[in-house]
Amino acid sequence: MARKSLRERALTVPEVKKLLESIGEEKLDQFQRRSLDYASKFSKVKEDKAETLVKTLIEQYGLEEAEAIQIVNCMPWSIEEIRVFLGGGRKIIETSKLQGILNLLDEYRK
């Protein structure tokens, strides 16, 4: 039976974990179980906070959704690490803005 996609959107690792857990492990196929195992091990922020953090990064700091999601997935610890996710150094971003992002991430860490 082919599944029809209603819509597609990028998810953070914690959101993937929550989604797969909601299906129930006994109903997951092998790939989904591996994905759940990965998401459980590598989620860096609690599931209920990930979506809020992405929205805040987009709205307050003007990040693109893909950038915000990658930052939430990795939860960088320094300004230099944040720069990697923001255009790989091709974008010029004020240090004060990067420090604000770092402070926000610190508020959300597990």
44 with 78: CB under 8 angstroms?
no
pLDDT tens readout for residues 13-48: 999 999 999 999 899 999 999 999 999 999 999 888
- Where are the CATH 1.10.150 domain residues in the chain? 47-108
Joined together, the tokens standing for residue 37 give 């195992």
d(CA 93, CA 76): 16
pTM, two decimals, is 0.84
Q: Is 61 exposed, middle or buried (0-12, 13-18, 19+ CB in 10 A)?
A: middle
Residue 110 pLDDT class (50, 70, 90 cuts) = low
State the first-to-last Cα distance of the chain, in angstroms, to the nearest integer.
Answer: 40
d(CA 83, CA 90): 9
47-108 — its CATH code? 1.10.150
Residue 97 pLDDT class (50, 70, 90 cuts) = very high
Average pLDDT over residues 74-101: 88
